[in-house]
Structure 1
């Protein structure tokens, strides 16, 4: 079951749409459910809502998946380059993207201190850290990595699909090194072999993902770096990884 409702993002003084998935048996049960918070909520469930006409098709997957859970999909800001700004946790001057005065930390704080309490109050959730996950694709994947590093006391799991680690890579590495992280943390990080222009680019991207994985592993955090062969930077490729990252993170 998918519900949509508007919610106000206090630090940005705008409203956005929440795309909420509830298990099919939610109305009949008394169970408390784990929760996944996901970026780009409009791309999760419906091809009609998806930016490029193709969603991750998560509703179909979750309806048959053994672990029942709630998914809170947060729609991005579609105005000009606001998604890039709100989904970047750093101030960076990128060679291709230019100056980005990232507001991602404000968005994560809103999720932790306003959105999560709202969801916990209005729905039957398991509010514990062990039952709380964050996930995203591309810039949303970067945000999920940042959140699980810097707000680890709230998130025990992160699915980071093709995260845009090239945006602020050194700052992301520093956060991975400096953050206090619970050993009971799992991170799934994937990248597609067809996202790079050539073998040299793929080798470079792979080395960066493995470097991050190594930093997390040194903190006794469990990681799953996954190279998706023939994977592209799009929802179709990310949707094909649902079973892989869900099984890893929840089992």
Structure 2
């Protein structure tokens, strides 16, 4: 639909967005080292070891002892550091790069890290609720990044964002138009998803769960005095 490039929105409270940078670095390292840069066998093994499998969370199924290397509950977070391909990784990290700095700035480093992980867990739990018997591993930072996008939209709906529309047309538009459309599409796709191809489907409900968490958490996790909706801009 669109590729975010840059927002005209300098950070005000931090020297640098260290947590955003660190999250991007960790995701890249995990993909290269643990997932073998997407090599099929390594990626599949990592998904079983650290991906979130709904049937394990609901105790419908169990992994063989050799594969159960982390508690099932831990995968509500670990899944968000795995990706299915370079494109999957690049898309999530690009959104985090463009929008994460201002959300981190609004919260501070420690609270932003907690916020990111809670959005990841919320996305995973909603995904479980919508398919509790599924044995397909969930991977990807999309739920956590969806929370960041929702928080950014709550904070800065009027800020102009440079995007590539349709992958080739440069446009500079207010965040409310760009991200509002993105949020609407996630909701539409979640409601329209029939689940006929669970092995290939996008985890739309994980996006919805992350967005809901991001919208709620920004209300009380932002710094005192940080306004919502660009009040005072």
Greater per-residue strand proportion: 1
Greater per-residue helix proportion: 2
- Under TM normalisation by the shorter chain, which class is it? under 0.3
Give the number of the structure with larger relative contact order, counting CA–CA contacts within 8 Å between residues 6 or more apart: 2
TM-score, scaled relative to structure 1: 0.25
TM-score, scaled relative to structure 2: 0.26
